[in-house]
């Protein structure tokens, strides 16, 4: 089994505060495919963002993550239970869930091991939905600066798994019965300080800092100074990708 990677515990506070939410339109579309809303598993829940939305429709939500530090930042809700567990190996009963979700984390998994576990814990007629967001987009010069930061400054410091995000999970297997999915996007209206917080949550930034004495986030924010006054908000757009399908007929 592929060794588990935990790239986010050290910056779990930034992750919880600055990672973008997913639009209600995505959840509404996923829920529209379902007929049963008894139990859901949000795998690699991180700060519990998706689990909280699932809890609005499901009777019970189990949310797992390999990082206890991440789970400490997850909001408490009566019908959400958090557990520390690998995606590929849980203590959950078989034939249990109506929906399994993975948001912005599938690329870290041992795919085969996770799919075996998912099929084990899924009820007949259950669904799998995995989604994530690509590199965000901004206007004009700011977009060029951000792309230079992502590709040129941090390019060698991204984990190999990041390539799956760059190609919108096209190369990740999906051994279920798929349904065509629409396109979604999420628009955030951020200050410079909020974008800086988002950059600080990136795993490649942590790898860069370990290898160098200088701070790449401080440097890129200085480049943005002239085009983005402090306190002013800019639109930051995240293109989303989604795969959804039935685990059992």
* CATH code assigned at 33: 3.40.50.150
Paired residues of 246 in beta bridges: 127, 177
**Lowest mean pLDDT, pick from 18-27, 42-51, 95-104, 204-213:** 18-27
pLDDT band for position 249 (50/70/90)? low
Share of the chain above pLDDT 90, in %: 86
Position 226 scores a pLDDT of: 86
Instruction: Please compute the mean of the pLDDT values over residues 193-205 and round it to a whole number.
Output: 93
Domain extent at residue 127: 12-136+160-187+237-246
Q: 67-116: per-residue pLDDT in tens?
A: 999 899 899 999 999 999 999 999 999 999 999 999 999 999 999 999 99
Structural domain tally of the chain? Answer: 1
**Is the predicted pLDDT of residue 2 greater than 80, yes or no?**
no
Determine, yes or no, domain membership for 220: no
CA angle 126, 80, 90 (to 5 degrees): 60
| pLDDT surpasses 70 at 240 | yes
Q: Is residue 45 part of a domain?
A: yes
Which pLDDT does position 7 carry in this prediction?
Answer: 46
3-class SS of residue 11: coil
Instruction: Return the pLDDT at 15.
Output: 45
Is position 147 within any domain? no
| pLDDT-above-70 percentage for the chain | 92
Confidence class for position 182, pLDDT limits 50, 70, 90: very high
Q: How many other CB atoms sit within 10 Å of the CB of residue 175?
A: 13
Structural domain contains residue 4? no
Q: Is residue 164 part of a domain?
A: yes
Q: What is the DSSP letter of 19?
A: S
Q: What is the reported pLDDT for 6?
A: 56
pLDDT, position 229: 85
Tell me the mean pLDDT in the region 153-168: 96
Reported residue count of the chain is 249
Dist CA 166 CA 176 (whole Å): 22
DSSP reduced 3-state for 248: coil
Residue 4 pLDDT greater than 70, yes or no: no
221 in any annotated domain: no
Q: Name the DSSP class of 89.
A: B
Kindly state the tokens that stand for 109.
């998994």
Averaged pLDDT of the chain: 92
**What is the pLDDT at residue 83?**
96
pLDDT of residue 123: 96
pTM summary value? 0.92
Maximal CA-CA distance, the chain:
57
pLDDT at site 12 = 42
* Residue at 112 is within a domain: yes
Decide if 204 is inside a domain: no
Residue 20: pLDDT band (50, 70, 90) is confident
The residue among 133, 135, 153 whose CA lies nearest residue 221 is: 153
DSSP code of 108?
Answer: G
The answer to whether residues 24 and 77 touch, using CB atoms and an 8 Å cutoff, is no
Mean pLDDT within 105-128: 96
Is 207 within 8 Å of 153 (Cβ atoms)?
no
pLDDT at position 24 over 90: yes
Span 30-42, average pLDDT? 98
Q: Burial of 156 by CB count in 10 Å (0-12 exposed, 13-18 middle, 19+ buried)?
A: exposed
- Euclidean distance between CA atoms 145 and 224, whole angstroms: 7
């Amino acid at each position: 089994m592929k060794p588990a990677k935990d790239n986010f515990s050290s910056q779990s506070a930034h992750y919880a505060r600055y990672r973008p939410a997913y639009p209600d339109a995505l959840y509404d579309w996923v829920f529209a495919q379902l007929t049963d809303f008894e139990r859901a598993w949000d795998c690699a829940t991180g700060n519990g963002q998706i689990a909280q939305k699932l809890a609005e429709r499901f009777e019970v939500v189990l949310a797992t993550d390999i990082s206890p530090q991440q789970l400490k930042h997850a909001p408490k809700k009566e019908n959400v239970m958090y557990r520390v567990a690998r995606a590929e190996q849980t203590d959950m009963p078989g034939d249990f869930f109506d929906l399994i979700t993975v948001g912005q984390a599938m690329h870290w998994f041992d795919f085969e091991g996770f799919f075996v576990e998912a099929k084990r814990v899924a009820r007949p007629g259950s669904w799998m939905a995995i989604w994530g967001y690509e590199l965000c987009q901004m206007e004009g010069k700011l977009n060029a600066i951000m792309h230079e930061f992502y590709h040129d400054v941090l390019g060698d410091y991204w984990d190999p798994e990041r390539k799956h995000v760059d190609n919108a999970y096209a190369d990740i297997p999906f051994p279920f019965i798929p349904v065509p999915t629409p396109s979604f996007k999420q628009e955030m209206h951020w200050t410079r300080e909020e974008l800086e917080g988002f950059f600080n949550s990136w795993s490649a930034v942590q790898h860069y800092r370990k290898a160098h004495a200088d701070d790449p986030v401080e440097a890129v924010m200085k480049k943005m100074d002239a085009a983005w006054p402090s306190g002013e908000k800019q639109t930051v757009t995240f293109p989303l990708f989604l795969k959804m399908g039935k685990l059992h007929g």
